[in-house]
């Protein structure tokens, strides 16, 4: 009987993914995502205000 080694990376990826997801802190991840969205919104607001003031300043010249 001839035994040939099989190379299946799909099962290794699935096993690694399951291990990583089992150790994931979903509450901490949600908290981080919420802070990132709020911070991004604040940054976007400042960026839009700066662009508006820059256009207004260049028109006044």
Q: Does some domain include residue 4?
A: no
Number of domains in the chain: 1
CA distances from 14 to 6, 26, 32, 41, 44 (A): 16, 19, 25, 35, 38
3-class secondary-structure state, position 59? helix
Q: Does some domain include residue 5?
A: no
- Domain limits for position 33: 25-61
Q: Does some domain include residue 43?
A: yes
Q: What is the pLDDT of residues 41-58, one digit of tens each?
A: 999 999 999 999 999 999
Exposed/middle/buried for residue 38 (C-beta within 10 Å: 0-12, 13-18, 19+): exposed
Q: What is the pLDDT of residues 9-45, one digit of tens each?
A: 677 888 888 888 888 888 898 999 999 999 999 999 9
What confidence tier does 7 reach under pLDDT thresholds 50, 70, 90? Answer: low
User: CA angle, corner 60, sides to 55 and 61, nearest 5?
Assistant: 105
Q: Does some domain include residue 7?
A: no
Q: Does some domain include residue 52?
A: yes
Q: Does some domain include residue 15?
A: no
- The dihedrals phi and psi of 14, each to the nearest 5 degrees, come to -65, -45
Q: Does some domain include residue 31?
A: yes
Q: Tell me, what's the pLDDT at 19?
A: 86
């Amino acid at each position: 009987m001839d035994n040939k080694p099989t190379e299946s990376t799909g099962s290794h990826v699935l096993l690694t993914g399951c291990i990583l997801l089992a150790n994931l802190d979903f509450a901490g991840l949600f908290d981080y995502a919420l802070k990132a969205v709020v911070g991004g919104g604040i940054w976007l607001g400042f960026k839009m205000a700066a662009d508006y003031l820059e256009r207004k300043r260049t028109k006044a010249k």
